[in-house]
Amino acid sequence: MQTSLDTRDLWSTQHRDCGAEPTMDLDLDRARFICSTHAGHGPDCRQYLAAAAFCFGCVEDP
């Protein structure tokens, strides 16, 4: 599935603040987008940590 440019722009706006917790309506596509956007921001980036944890949880589910 390919995410539209409008959706990516919306996600970029909603998840731009590294200090804010991401919304609870994460799905795998949004979590992967957040991980790619915030990769390399360091251990204080709450957006990356939450999205990475979500992705890890999806992979671990049987």
User: Taking the model in full, what pTM does it have?
Assistant: 0.81
Tokens of 22: 């991401």
pLDDT at residue 62, rounded to an integer: 54
Angular region, 23: left φ>0, alpha ψ -120 to 50, beta rest: beta
**Among 40, 38, 42, which residue's Cα sits nearest to residue 16?**
38
Structure-model confidence comparison of residues 25 and 53, the more confident one: 53
- Kindly give, in sequence order, each residue whose CB lies less than 8 Å from that of residue 15, ignoring residues fewer than 6 positions away: 22, 33, 34, 37, 38, 47
**Mean predicted confidence (pLDDT) in 13-38:** 89
pLDDT at residue 61, rounded to an integer: 53
